[in-house]
Chain A
Amino acid sequence: MATPQFAVTASPLDPLAVASAATGTIDAVGGLVAFTGVVRAENAGRRVLYLEYEAYEPLAVRAFGIVGQEAAARWPATGLSIHHRTGRLEIGEVSIVIAAASAHRGPAFEACRYAIERVKQIAPIWKHEHFEGGDVWIEGATARPDDEEARAEALSRACG
């Protein structure tokens, strides 16, 4: 079965499969950029033991699709694939892989950066951090795809 373009899964992620899902959506590939998010051993001065990711899975997959549509409008002929993992992840494990493919490197780098910023802003996925001495739900942005200010911020980070 072909790798889905957008997915949320409890299984370990396969960066090469995500890359091929991105390149498979467009004709002319000359550049392929991938972002891989990894569970970090430290956060805000705390020693992290492990993370648990929780997702509203069907809406998260739709959110990835929204990000894909936004990226396609800004960077035509750029293919995007986003896979996020859920459940308990140990330090060093991969939590997210985003791949962006385009005819040239510029749009691929920009679309990839834009996608990770937007996923962090809107995808209904939460991180439960277990650290030495306690645990905490990490809470960042209100998830609202129609917040144009947030979208502009993501675009500005992507395009420097």
Chain B
Amino acid sequence: MQMSRSKGKNKKWLILSLITVMCLGLLSACGAKNESGDNPEGAANGGNKGAQGNEVTLRFMTWDSGQTLQPYQNAINAFMEKHPDIKVKVESVPDNYDQKLLTSLASGTAPDVFMAWNYPLYVPGGALEDMQTWVDKDSYDLGKYYPILMDYMKYDEKLWGLPTTYSTRAIYYNKSLFDEAGVPYPQDGWKWDEFVDTVQKLTKPGQYGFIMTPDDVMTMQPYVWSNGGDMVSDDGKTVEGVLNSAENIETMTFLKQLYDASSKINSAGKFSTNNGLESFLTGQIAMFDNGMWPLGDILKEGKLDIGTVTHPLPEGGSLKGIIHTSGYSMPKSGKNKEAAWELIKFMSGEEGIKIITANKFAFSPVISVDEENGYASDPYLEAFAKELEGSDKLIAGMRNESWSEAEDMIRAGVQAIFYNNADIKSTLDDAAKQAQAVLK
């Protein structure tokens, strides 16, 4: 009796410890796997260098993936052909790019070359390589780029990257929906009133003339600028008195009209700059505001008969387009900076940019290539090109590192105006005060 009981107990303990050991084994197995997953990469990097003397493998990180990655991949392939001793490994990170980049910069594992746009966010940590030193060393000619684009490569009066491509934004319209409603197509230089009127005429059950959402504060800037206003002072420090200016009250009144005239869609707070692409493609929206990126696909599919037109203007206002662009940068801690600089020069220079911007993929930051491509006279791209001409402003996000937080305050204000018909002047006053507190 006694014997058997203690035996039973022993058995229980045996099983218990077995289970524990197994579980622990699982844990450690996971850990080991991760480590061994990382190792070959490092080994390969080091090994390459060792074995073939001077062969270098560069890591290149981009947010593009799939179809939008292809043009860049083409250029990289051309680069590798030209430089047989440099290998480029592309790392595509379509989601949480900033997060990934910042983590890798912080931990010293950043890729040798990466795409970047949010310099106010990356620069203050001191992890980025000052690009000016490389430009000076090579006497690289920056004069070949559009000056306004170079402003986007700078923060704190220093140069942090060389431009990749750029796109402005314009209004796409669905011609068949216009024909159906008997409304004439919009013409460049049209006015705000006409826009509201057109939106009204094209809005009916199941169809919206335009989607104006309060969530996308960034793309409201062309309207704000063309009416002579701004969201923050040029130095990025003052919001009070700038955001709540008399001009901006006019602009906000217009945007509210636009919202009321069309969808009244509360696009559920997904702060996306692609808002409405799907709905536009399915013919639910007659007009929508976007960069040139979807154009190629729309034309290739050929299902929609579309046109493009510049942003409408206020009485007496002038066109001031918004620019989407990014740069190639490298980390201060990079180990292959020479090779990285070669890659950046190639990608941002005439040779690479010609490959990347082929087939109307994007505009070229190099003026001569842009002219050679001739996109400015393309019927679909003309509007986008015109938007660049008058553009002389940096987006607010490029002027202050805390802008994304300030923008949250402004967004909440715009939401109150749009959804709850809040008084425009006092709401902008409050939002300006709150945003000012964030920027300090």
Bound together:
no
Which A residues fall within an 8 A CB radius of B? none
Which B residues fall within an 8 A CB radius of A? none
